[in-house]
């Protein structure tokens, strides 16, 4: 099986030569990162606009924040770069409608790290990317993989809108927890994925739920603190036990960090240390960029019990090849599946090992 990517012109090179002005849609961390890349490539930015409800006569990075109507009146036609993430239907439809009026892209910027998926990056890691493509267990996974790589090069929304699934759909078709299953939830947030698991496996054996962010952990306690056969742990997951600096943002994006706001020390543990040789049947990890380290902390559990795995594979540019290859190294008998859940840009990419 050959991996074919039908995109010859990378987004950043196209934008550098574009005749139409380039504008940003959105503010915040995403806009800061995209502005930095545009400056790196010498791409001039003609303006920034926001949804009408966020336009308050203020500025962002020296640009007045305009409405779409204002920027259309000023510029006419232009290229839009989407600078935020979204998963709810009304906003996804708004973005789709915008793309029918103006050329619109969602640049692929890593959540963590600075590597961009450029043609040079693709060539450097082509052997590993093709190896992973060959390891994927079904046609849907291979199509998602090829479309994701095409998206990462081009920023084209069409590749994202082709694949808008959900974990609910994955239960039963890929994930098959049965009565007595032991579930380990790494990055349990406010308990939503614990509740999701129980819906599909009401006769579970035990639940271990880890969440390092104090605000999120309080929500987790409120949602799951009274559940039977459940242990809640206010720690982060890693390759071993210890302590590292943590950025407590009170949302899904709380993460280990070296610098930034709201930094605090956080206790870490590994799945192997947590379980002490006991069984796990299903491990879900969405741990904000430390999936590799967390997998290494599961090596004994994987070798002994071969639990089903659900691994977030979108936080770092290398996740799409590094994580599948690591999973197969730890568990050579695993069958690998890739699914993408509803989100723009290319977040919520899930690697399943069964």
pLDDT in tens, 267-303: 999 999 999 999 999 999 999 899 999 999 999 999 9
250, pLDDT greater than 90: no
**Cβ atoms 316, 112 nearer than 8 A:** yes
Burial class, 75, CB count within 10 angstroms (exposed 0-12 / middle 13-18 / buried 19+):
middle
Look up the CATH number of domain 11-161: 3.40.50.20
Better pLDDT: 83 or 252 = 83
47, pLDDT greater than 70: yes
**Cβ atoms 182, 205 nearer than 8 A:** yes
| pLDDT more than 90, % of the chain | 90
Q: Which residue has 């739920």 as its token pair?
A: 209
- Map out the domains of the chain as residue ranges: 11-161, 167-312
pLDDT at 231: 98
224, pLDDT greater than 90: yes
**φ, ψ for residue 300 (rounded to 5)?**
-70, -40
Q: How far apart are the C-alpha atoms of 272 and 299, rounded to whole Å?
A: 7
Q: Which three-class secondary structure state does DSSP give residue 103?
A: strand
pLDDT confidence bin for 9, thresholds 50/70/90: confident
Look up the CATH number of domain 167-312: 3.40.50.150
**φ, ψ for residue 323 (rounded to 5)?**
-70, -45
pLDDT in tens, 92-122: 999 999 999 999 999 999 999 999 999 999 9
Q: How far apart are the C-alpha atoms of 244 and 265, rounded to whole Å?
A: 6
Average pLDDT estimate for 172-179: 96
pLDDT confidence bin for 246, thresholds 50/70/90: confident
**Cβ atoms 294, 265 nearer than 8 A:** no
Average pLDDT, the chain: 94
pLDDT in tens, 120-142: 999 999 999 999 999 999 999 99
pLDDT at 251: 53
Q: How far apart are the C-alpha atoms of 234 and 225, rounded to whole Å?
A: 12
Domains 11-161 and 167-312 share a fold: yes
pLDDT at 249: 57
Which are the contacts of 170, defined by CB distance < 8 A and separation ≥ 6? 310, 339, 350, 352
pLDDT in tens, 201-223: 999 999 999 999 999 999 999 99
| pLDDT more than 70, % of the chain | 95
């Amino acid at each position: 099986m050959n991996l074919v990517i039908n995109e010859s012109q990378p987004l950043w090179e196209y934008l550098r030569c574009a005749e139409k002005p380039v504008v940003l849609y959105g503010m915040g961390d995403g806009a800061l990162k995209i502005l930095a890349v545009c400056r790196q490539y010498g791409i001039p930015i003609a303006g920034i606009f926001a949804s009408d409800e966020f336009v308050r006569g203020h500025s962002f990075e020296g640009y007045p924040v305009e409405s779409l109507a204002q920027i259309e009146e000023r510029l006419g036609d232009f290229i839009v770069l989407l600078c935020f993430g979204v998963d709810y239907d009304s906003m996804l439809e708004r973005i789709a409608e915008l793309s029918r009026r103006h050329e619109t892209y969602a640049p692929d910027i890593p959540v963590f790290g600075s590597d961009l998926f450029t043609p040079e990056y693709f060539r450097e890691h082509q052997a590993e990317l093709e190896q992973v493509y060959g390891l994927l267990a079904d046609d849907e996974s291979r199509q998602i993989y090829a479309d994701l790589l095409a998206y990462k090069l081009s920023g084209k929304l069409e590749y994202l809108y082709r694949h808008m699934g959900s974990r609910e759909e994955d239960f039963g078709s890929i994930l098959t927890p049965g009565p007595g299953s032991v579930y380990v939830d790494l990055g349990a947030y406010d308990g939503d994925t614990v509740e999701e698991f129980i819906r599909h496996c009401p006769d579970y054996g035990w639940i271990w739920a880890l969440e390092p962010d104090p605000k999120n952990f309080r929500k987790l306690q409120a949602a799951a603190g009274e559940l039977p056969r459940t242990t809640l742990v206010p720690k982060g997951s890693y390759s071993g036990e210890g302590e590292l600096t943590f950025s407590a943002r009170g949302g899904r994006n709380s993460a280990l960090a070296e610098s930034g706001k709201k930094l605090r020390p956080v206790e870490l543990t590994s799945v192997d240390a947590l379980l002490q040789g006991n069984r796990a049947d299903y491990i879900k990890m969405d741990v904000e960029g430390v999936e590799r380290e967390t997998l290494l902390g599961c090596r004994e559990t994987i070798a002994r019990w071969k639990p089903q795995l659900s691994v977030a594979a979108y936080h770092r540019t290398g996740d799409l090849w590094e994580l599948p290859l690591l999973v197969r190294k730890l568990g050579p008998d695993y069958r690998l599946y890739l699914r993408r859940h509803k989100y723009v840009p290319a977040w919520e990419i899930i690697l399943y090992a069964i």
